[in-house]
Amino acid sequence: MRVRVRFAPSPTGFPHVGNIRTALFNWLFARHHGGTFILRIEDTDVERMVPGAQEAVLEGLRWLGLDWDEGPEVGGPHAPYIQSQRRQIYRDLARRLVDQGNAYYCSCTPQRLEAMRREQTSKKLPPGYDRHCRELGLGPQEGAVVRFRTPPSGETRFNDLLRGEVAFQNQTLDDFVLLKSDGYPTYHLANVADDHLMEITHILRADEWLSSTPRHLLLYQALGQTPPLYAHLPMILGPDRAKLSKRHGATSIGEFRDQGYLPEAMLNFLALLGWSLNETAELFSREELVKDFSLERVGLNPAIFNREKLDWMNGVYIRKLSAADFARRILPFLEKGLPPSVPRPLPLEYLDRLAPLVQERARTLAESVSLADFFLLPQLEYDPALLTGKLTPEKARHALETTQESLEKLPDFSVEGLEKQLRPLAEKLELGTGPYFGLIRVAVTGRTAAPPLFQTMAILGKDPCLERLRQALHRLS
């Protein structure tokens, strides 16, 4: 069997990590088996469509490098399939099911259905259509829907590739809608029709769709078609073991990109939400994930989304980048995050020099703004009290004046030259290197914690450092 899988999101919301984890597992399964990965946009729920959601799906997949292999002729070979462009297929299929006796027209109004649900709730009955129109023999009419004629007894069984044998009693399933009154198919009909026509062999989807599987299997049976194999993936929970939601922080894949997570780190992290190679391995390249991925290693227990682990992993991947690559990746974050007083465009050659100092401390690309801003700001803003620390204002002023005079005469403003000049000066001023270097650090960076002092000063350059020392003296006076 040549593996053919699909990722079929609905643009009723922006793609969250659960959606993209499903896409990733399908992509890895296809790549591991040398199969085909198909993207299909299920946009038939017109009322709930969210503007921009479809574009966000495509952007998220492209950002992670999850390429798909085929599409309709319209839009090119790599355009996704769009269900709203295939409506005639579903209408013809619904009509066929009615003609076969496997479906029927239902003219129940929304008001009648709402009254029916209220009565069921009051009597504590399970919700579901009461089959009022099942034997009326109605024909097509305005406002009517097409419902599937679910067998009232027996059971529907299937073998889930992760969970084993699963059985549903047919009496618990209602006569679900196949074709809505607006002529659009429901998820159930369009899903089954397209999976069959696209020759999908395996369906890897979230476990929330497990209850839909018996309906789909009954549809396959009515159409005389062989269903694909199913695997329902474990859900993703927050650290409090509640369903992952906005209160746990960012959940859409676009938010993680905008917060400065690397696509290679995000790919690695998402792969471990429900899958593992062994108890210790955590860092995997894309090629290693493709080579090692298998459904046998996917667990059944819910996966926990651990933001601290993602931050750690992202930091590891950031430090694997070359300085030049890191500089180019942080450039858009700096361009956006630095104040207008910083001249644009930012000098790439200068960013290449400061990148290693920022790269060593950053957990995300977005953090580069707060870690690197003092290198680029024309003037620093800070509390003058930070300059003195444990020193008296007089001692601090004297130390800054002496440092300024010493550095003005320094011909070698390199890391080595600065260290050779300033370490003896701390002793001459009878100040410990801690208080003295802390004073200089605040003067040239505006903060008490920064990258190594001599490296920072060497990158800033002689004239900017002297100007910042003059500004610090002015603040003290």
Instruction: Give pTM, 2 decimals.
Output: 0.92
Query: Which pLDDT score, from 0 to 100, does residue 73 have?
Result: 60
User: Cβ distance 68 to 159 under 8 Å?
Assistant: no
User: Cβ distance 104 to 149 under 8 Å?
Assistant: yes
173 has a pLDDT exceeding 90: yes
Q: How confident is the model at residue 156 (pLDDT cuts 50, 70, 90)?
A: very high
Residue type, 122: S
Q: Pick from 389, 383, 337, 343: which is nearest to 358 by CA?
A: 337
74 has a pLDDT exceeding 60: no
pLDDT, tens only, 323-332: 999 999 999 9
Q: How confident is the model at residue 242 (pLDDT cuts 50, 70, 90)?
A: confident
Query: Which pLDDT score, from 0 to 100, does residue 250 have?
Result: 65
344 has a pLDDT exceeding 90: yes
Query: Which pLDDT score, from 0 to 100, does residue 79 have?
Result: 85
Query: Which pLDDT score, from 0 to 100, does residue 274 have?
Result: 96
pLDDT, mean of residues 453-458:
97
* Peptide bond preceding 140 in cis form (omega within 30 of 0): no
The tokens of 252 are what? 């859409």
pLDDT, tens only, 397-416: 999 999 999 999 999 999 99
Query: Which pLDDT score, from 0 to 100, does residue 78 have?
Result: 72
395 has a pLDDT exceeding 70: yes
pLDDT, mean of residues 257-277:
97
pLDDT, mean of residues 153-175:
96
Q: How confident is the model at residue 276 (pLDDT cuts 50, 70, 90)?
A: very high
Q: Pick from 353, 280, 293: which is nearest to 34 by CA?
A: 293
pLDDT, mean of residues 79-98:
95
pLDDT, tens only, 193-223: 999 999 999 999 999 999 999 999 999 999 9
Mean pLDDT, all residues of the chain: 95
User: Cβ distance 147 to 106 under 8 Å?
Assistant: yes
Query: Which pLDDT score, from 0 to 100, does residue 243 have?
Result: 84
Query: Which pLDDT score, from 0 to 100, does residue 64 have?
Result: 97
Query: Which pLDDT score, from 0 to 100, does residue 239 have?
Result: 87
pLDDT, tens only, 351-367: 999 999 999 999 999 99
CATH of domain 86-233: 3.40.50.620
Domain residue limits, the chain: 86-233, 253-376, 385-476
Residue 246 annotated to the active site: yes
Query: Which pLDDT score, from 0 to 100, does residue 75 have?
Result: 54
What percent of the chain has a predicted confidence (pLDDT) above 70?
A: 98
The residues facing 39 across adjacent strands are: 7
Please count the other Cβ atoms lying within 10 Å of the Cβ belonging to residue 168: 18
pLDDT, tens only, 280-317: 999 999 999 999 999 999 999 999 999 999 999 999 99
Q: Which residue has the tokens 């993207």?
A: 39
The residues facing 40 across adjacent strands are: 81
The tokens of 299 are what? 């667990």
Residue type, 151: P
Among 123, 180, 243, 246, the one annotated catalytic: 246
DSSP 3-state of 8: coil
Q: Which fold has domain 253-376?
A: Glutamyl-tRNA Synthetase; domain 2 (1.10.1160)
Please give the C-alpha separations between residue 178 and each of 86, 90, 96, 182, 309, in angstroms, as whole numbers: 15, 9, 12, 12, 43
DSSP 3-state of 308: helix
Please give the C-alpha separations between residue 333 and each of 8, 222, 266, 327, 350, in angstroms, as whole numbers: 32, 55, 18, 10, 16
pLDDT, tens only, 94-147: 999 999 999 999 999 999 999 999 999 999 998 899 999 999 999 999 999 999
Rounded distance, CA 393 to CA 390, Å? Answer: 9
Query: Which pLDDT score, from 0 to 100, does residue 241 have?
Result: 87
Query: Which pLDDT score, from 0 to 100, does residue 183 have?
Result: 93
Residue 442 dihedral angles phi and psi, to the nearest 5°: -65, -40
Which residues fall within 8 angstroms of residue 289, CB to CB, at 6 or more apart?
Answer: 28, 267, 268, 271
Residue 243 CA, distance from chain mean position: 16
Query: Which pLDDT score, from 0 to 100, does residue 30 have?
Result: 98
pLDDT, tens only, 413-446: 999 999 999 999 999 999 989 999 999 999 999 9
CATH of domain 385-476: 1.10.10.350
In eight-state DSSP terms, residue 429 is T
* Peptide bond preceding 345 in cis form (omega within 30 of 0): yes
